[in-house]
A = this chain, B = another copy of it.
Amino acid sequence: MVLSGIWRKNENSKEPLPENISVSHDKAVPPQAVQELCASVGWSRREPELIVRALQNSLAVVSIWVKGTDFKPDELIGFARATGDKVFNATVWDMVVRPDYQRAGIGRLVMCELLKELDEYQIPLVTLYADPGTDGFYKRFGFLADPSGVRGMFRERIDY
């Protein structure tokens, strides 16, 4: 429970993060770190060079790090990104928290930082596709499920 204090703070709190936790908005997240984080929650593997290009073409990227030691490198524990047109809409993708660090406020920190960046562009509509059981989490940030009967639809091509 590294971030129990953060978990309870409200979105506009100035409470500082623990010294060993840092937030980055840099799109150049090392792809191996992203790969490894996604693998930790069972997501399928993506090629490092594709990860680099996708992050570069994203509108906003947030990564949360735990500072390493002399014997251990910094560790990526939370991540999310958004695509969009920088004007009318943005869509959140790949929101993920390392299992060891779940239920400790990291997901909330990721979303607050991502939405803060999108709000700087004054994007009026932010959307996402919520996995089953996760909509309660997103409701806290003002997201509504299927308003006015609008439904998310998906077309997957598995041959690429």
Asked if A89 lies at the interface with its beta carbon under 8 angstroms from chain B, I say yes
* Closest B residue, CB atoms, query A47: B87
List the B side residues contacting A150 at CB < 8 Å. Answer: 129-132, 152, 154
Each complex incorporates copies of this chain amounting to 2
Interface contact B88-A50, CB-CB below 8 Å: yes
Interface class of chain A by DSSP:
mixed
Chain-B contact segment, one of A7-15, A66-74, A100-108, A118-126: A118-126
Interface contact A158-B124, CB-CB below 8 Å: yes
Chain A residues in contact with chain B, CB under 8 A?
46, 50, 53-55, 57-58, 81, 83-89, 91, 93, 115, 119, 122-132, 135, 138, 141-158, 160
